[in-house]
Amino acid sequence: MVETSPTLPPLRIGTRRSNLAVVQAEGIRDSLEKIAPERSYEIEALRTLGDRDQLTALYDFGAKSLWTTELEEKLVSGELDVIVHCLKDMPTTLPDTCELAAIPPRDNPRDALIVKSGLPYTSLKDLPEGAVVGTSSVRRSAQLRRLYPYLRFANIRGNVETRLAKLDNPDSEYTCIIMSAAGLERVGLKYRINQYLRSKDGGILHAVGQGALGLEIRKGDTQTQELLDQLADSKSTLACLAERSLMRTLEGGCSVPIGVETEWIRSDDLKITAIVVSLDGSESVEDTVEARVQSVDEATALGKEMAARLIKAGAEAILKDININRPSKD
Ligand SMILES: NCc1[nH]cc(CCC(=O)O)c1CC(=O)O
């Protein structure tokens, strides 16, 4: 007689209910099926507060956890085993019942310019005076205001497909929008990207963790941790942890204009560049630092060092001013 090992229950993968979130969760499920084909996997896509409320501007939500709280409750209660997040939507400090188990290989971290269909512009510098950039991200608008003071800005909310539809509507005010390149590429919309933006091209730095996924588990769930270890990418992990350490030290939420870029030079040296910009773009501090990074502690230390340099250059005054002038929730 053949002994059958006790079968594990299906691993329950939770995510938000946007097309992008589901595509991401399916990608993780497919990778897990290759690594551990004996196990079965289920995806549960949940509508979160951030998905339901499309009207409140992002900076009015205050806490960054609008995408994560409801999923974490299900994780802690055992209804889910892992949550697949966009890393940039994850608060830098998690509830102490949960932990960040793994960061898989990062996709393109850059922002992308998408121009309204039918308009001839192909880069930020082509945009005429008064052109309207659709974005609800103060990180994006503050950096653009600094470099292109003649542009105008309007909020835009909704998932990737909704934003593109709003852009292309001939009656909408938008000339262009800025979205994450990774988000567009994952849902098959790479062809809509007119320009990839970065410090050397267009001049704007991306968000902390942009282009990476974060896999969150119940604290102490070693079985799921060991499974997810096999999806982790050490270079992506260390770079993203350095970025998150910078953000945590500056105490910025998703709505604080901190732009960042990390780049591996030689095999173990990480270069980090970061900028903090006032909402109107009139003030900014920027710096670059480089260090050997071979461990989580060294990544964290590099992020802290970057934050210390920005604070020394005046970042605190800019951030304090932003918090005072932030529109209230009511
Ligand atoms: N702001 C919301 C958000 N969070 C993660 C992504 C896309 C995926 C990623 O960049 O990791 C997006 C959309 C966007 O910024 O265009």
Q: Give kind and range of the element (H or E) at residue 195.
A: strand 195-197
* Strand-strand pairing, 11-16 and 82-86: parallel
**89 Cβ inside 6 Å of ligand 1:** yes
Count Cα atoms within 13 angstroms, Cβ side, for 269: 7
Q: Which residue has the higher pLDDT, 37 or 324?
A: 37
Query: How many whole angstroms separate alpha carbon 246 and alpha carbon 319?
Result: 14
Query: How many whole angstroms separate alpha carbon 10 and alpha carbon 221?
Result: 15
In the prediction, which pLDDT does 256 show? 67
**88 Cβ inside 6 Å of ligand 1:** yes
Count Cβ atoms below 10 Å from residue 145 Cβ, excluding itself.
22
Handedness of CA 45, 48, 54, 57 (dihedral sign): negative
- Note if 140 is an active site residue: yes
Structure tokens at 266: 């030689």
- 3-class SS of residue 42: strand
In the prediction, which pLDDT does 3 show? 56
Structure tokens at 14: 């939770």
- 3-class SS of residue 147: helix
Residue 2: pLDDT above 70?
no
Residue 60: pLDDT above 60?
no
For 162-181, the pLDDT digits (tens) are 999 999 999 999 999 999 99
Query: How many whole angstroms separate alpha carbon 311 and alpha carbon 12?
Result: 42
- Note if 110 is an active site residue: no
CA–CA distances in Å: residue 46 to residues 74, 83, 125, 187, 270: 10, 11, 40, 19, 36
Query: How many whole angstroms separate alpha carbon 63 and alpha carbon 68?
Result: 11
Cα–Cα nearest to 140, from 161, 117, 163: 163
- Going by pLDDT thresholds of 50, 70 and 90, the confidence category of residue 31 is very high
- Going by pLDDT thresholds of 50, 70 and 90, the confidence category of residue 330 is very low
Burial class (CB in 10 A: 0-12, 13-18, 19+), 297: exposed
In the prediction, which pLDDT does 134 show? 98
Q: What is the ipTM score, two decimals? A: 0.95
Residue 252: pLDDT above 70?
no
Structure tokens at 102: 């793994």
Query: How many whole angstroms separate alpha carbon 202 and alpha carbon 196?
Result: 8
Structure tokens at 315: 């970042």
Q: Which residue has the higher pLDDT, 148 or 8?
A: 148
Handedness of CA 48, 24, 28, 196 (dihedral sign): negative
Query: How many whole angstroms separate alpha carbon 108 and alpha carbon 233?
Result: 14
Count Cα atoms within 13 angstroms, Cβ side, for 79: 11
In the prediction, which pLDDT does 297 show? 98
Burial class (CB in 10 A: 0-12, 13-18, 19+), 227: buried
Distance 224 CA to ligand 1 centre (A): 26
- Going by pLDDT thresholds of 50, 70 and 90, the confidence category of residue 69 is confident
Query: How many whole angstroms separate alpha carbon 240 and alpha carbon 238?
Result: 6
Distance 140 CA to ligand 1 centre (A): 12
* Strand-strand pairing, 82-86 and 213-218: antiparallel
- Note if 146 is an active site residue: no
Query: How many whole angstroms separate alpha carbon 189 and alpha carbon 236?
Result: 24
- Note if 254 is an active site residue: yes
In the prediction, which pLDDT does 329 show? 33
- Going by pLDDT thresholds of 50, 70 and 90, the confidence category of residue 47 is confident
Query: Among 88, 177, 198, which residue has the most ligand 1 atoms within 8 Å of its CB, making it the best to mutate?
Result: 88
- Note if 88 is an active site residue: yes
**225 Cβ inside 6 Å of ligand 1:** no
For 194-241, the pLDDT digits (tens) are 999 999 999 999 999 999 999 999 999 999 999 999 999 999 999 999
Report which protein residue has its CA nearest ligand 1's atom 6: 183
Question: Among 37-51, 176-190, 225-239, which stretch is predicted with the lowest mean pLDDT?
Answer: 37-51
Query: How many whole angstroms separate alpha carbon 139 and alpha carbon 308?
Result: 20
Report which protein residue has its CA nearest ligand 1's atom 5: 86
- Note if 53 is an active site residue: no
